[in-house]
Chain A
Amino acid sequence: MTVLADLPTYDEALAVYEPVIGLETHVELGTESKMFCGCPTAFGAEPNTQVCPVCLGLPGALPVVNEAAIRYTVMIGLALNCTIVPWSRFARKNYFYPDMPKDFQISQYDEPLCVNGWLDVDVDGQTHRVGITRVHMEEDTGKSLHVGGSTGRIQGATHSLVDYNRAGIPLVEIVTEPDVRSPEVARAYVEELRELCRALGISDVRMEQGSLRCDANVSLRRRPATPDGPENPFGTRTETKNLNSLRSVERAVRYEISRQASRLSAGERIVQETRHFDEGAGVTSAGRSKEEATDYRYFPEPDLAPVALSREFVEAVRATLPESPAQRRTRLTGDYGYTLTDIANLRGAGVLDLVEQTVTAGATPEAARKWWLNELARRASDAEIPPSQLAVTPADVARVATLIAAGELTDALARKVIDGVLAGEGGPDAVIEARGLKVVSDTGALDAAADAAIAGAPAIAEKVRGGKVAAVGPLVGAVMKAMKGQADAGAVRALLLEKLGVS
């Protein structure tokens, strides 16, 4: 195994070779029941309690296609700008493995449901269009625990224990053209695809739970001799399987580029093979040699009818598509004036939807963003609940923001209003009423309080008159206390300074 230190630097590799990367992603669909039977798909059940003759592959059992899986696949296909083909079939992919109940997987071969699409990916302000070759449906396998080896890995195990709860869960496989040219774009593609699936609501796409899995195909070719010269043919590619985080995608691709560059520079050939990424060491290594040259003997699945979706059906699905993340970003940067970083932050805090709803309810984008990202996200985190479960609604926040804009609330008062709403005392207006939180705009009362404060602290008043403006703080505090906080501190300060003859 080659250690990172032996390789040419990454930049050296890139100077000579152009990486050619294609990605295959498997998405577990969030349907209620499995692809070909009515067993539940819920995660975390006791082993072999979500199985039936069909997904166990018992003799005599037959598959029946889940309509929701078809619909979800069409949704992804449309969101990826694919053509939904008028005629599609399932096929058997035949191979033996203990986690395969039938020792064939029902998949799609030369007649996938969706073809020829694309997904735009933004990296550092540049847009890359990644071609989508195909989107097809298949079923997941069972899950094995390997016993007897070290750390539960398959190497050195004496036997394995198989749970078929996962067998038969619908999977969608999305294959790109070899259009990607850098690890950063590879990572960004997977991330964008993940957000897209989330927006469509068709999967919880959690890489760490395995509902989104990624394989990266990497090859290198020499860059053209001159900048305008003809491109060289693709080199031999390797496939690195089961990358289970965005970071792994980027690191594994980067490592493969370096590794292949090193071999090519040394005059060695690249072996077409399956590889696995070791998170800890940060390197890829060759898989079992037996996996090569498997003849899957594909043929059309005789137990299932072809899928011939009408134009009407496809258009009806298209009409239900929610806005894609890209469309949303365009709208939010355009209409709301958010930066891409703002949007990323809001999404990361889990408040993007809430912010939009708040703006719709009448707040300015800036106010909505500020309240949810700062104050409310913090309160949710303190209470250990997601922001969407806070007792304060977007309508409430919009109301508060409007009152602040109108000068009827200060930020400090507004926070107290939020306290009240969170405590279940009612909506913002009810809380303001009950707790008496409105900014007092009665100048007489303010004036009187200011005079009283000055009279009550002659030494401080003298200092301020003498030019030490900063010393006015305690006087402001006294007025605020007298007003029970229902005053705008800035206005109070200004009033005091005016009375003391300082500006």
Chain B
Amino acid sequence: MAITRDEVANLARLARMALSGDELDHLAPQLDVILGSVARVAEVAAADIPPTSHAVPLTNVFRSDLIRPCLSQADALAGAPATEDGRFRVPRILDPED
């Protein structure tokens, strides 16, 4: 169940996270060791055991359809790397050849 360097590169792409060659070299074996440890869960997680997603089970947590105060436009944009005309300015979404 080895994770190859290529698989790590694919995962990095999926996670939109640039990894250097060095990082890819280091990560693959480290992930392998960790995955080896975690494959242990398969030993004990039988089919008839229901999964628990929340330790303290709640259901139907709703709020009323009421309007609450918003952020001002200034506050909303305050942390933005770039803005233009009251909007968040982001780099071009498509590549030139798309």
A-to-B contact residues, CB < 8 Å: 31-33, 37-40, 46-53, 56, 64-70, 96-98, 144-148, 154-164, 288, 290, 295, 297, 300, 302, 304-309
Contacts and interface: CB of A to CB of B under 8 A. Distances in A.
Contacts of B98: 155, 288, 290
B70 A161 contact: no
Contact of A48 (B64, B88, B91): B88
A437 B53 CA distance: 77
Contact of B65 (A31, A159, A164): A31
A38 B68 CA distance: 5
B70 A40 contact: yes
Nearest to B56: A305
Nearest to A36: B63
B58 interface: yes
A147 B84 CA distance: 11
A163 B93 CA distance: 15
A49 B70 contact: yes
A65 B61 contact: yes
B90 interface: yes
Contacts of A308: 59-60
Contacts of A158: 92
A69 B64 CA distance: 10
B65 A53 contact: no
Nearest to B58: A305
Contacts of A70: 62
Interface string B59-94: 111111111111111001100000011111111111
B54 interface: yes
A161 B88 contact: yes
In the complex, the 5 A-B pairs of residues with the closest C-beta atoms, listed nearest first: A38-B68, A68-B65, A161-B87, A67-B62, A305-B58
A420 to B, nearest CB: 43
Contacts of B93: 97-98, 144, 146, 154, 157, 160
B96 A300 contact: no
A155 B91 CA distance: 13
Contacts of B66: 32-33, 38
DSSP majority for the B interface? loop
Contacts of A49: 70, 72-73, 76
B14 interface: yes
A70 B64 CA distance: 11
Contacts of A39: 67-68, 70
Contacts of A305: 54, 58-61
Interface residues of B, number: 35
Given A64-B63, A307-B59, 16 more contacts: A32-B66, A33-B66, A39-B67, A39-B68, A40-B67, A46-B73, A46-B86, A49-B76, A65-B63, A66-B62, A67-B63, A154-B93, A160-B92, A161-B87, A163-B86, A297-B14
B71 A51 contact: yes
Contacts of B14: 295, 297
19 contacts: A33-B66, A39-B67, A46-B73, A48-B73, A48-B76, A49-B76, A51-B71, A64-B62, A65-B63, A69-B65, A147-B84, A155-B94, A159-B90, A160-B89, A160-B91, A290-B98, A304-B61, A305-B58, A306-B60
Interface in B18-73: 53-54, 58-73
Nearest to B96: A156
A37 B68 contact: yes
Nearest to B62: A67
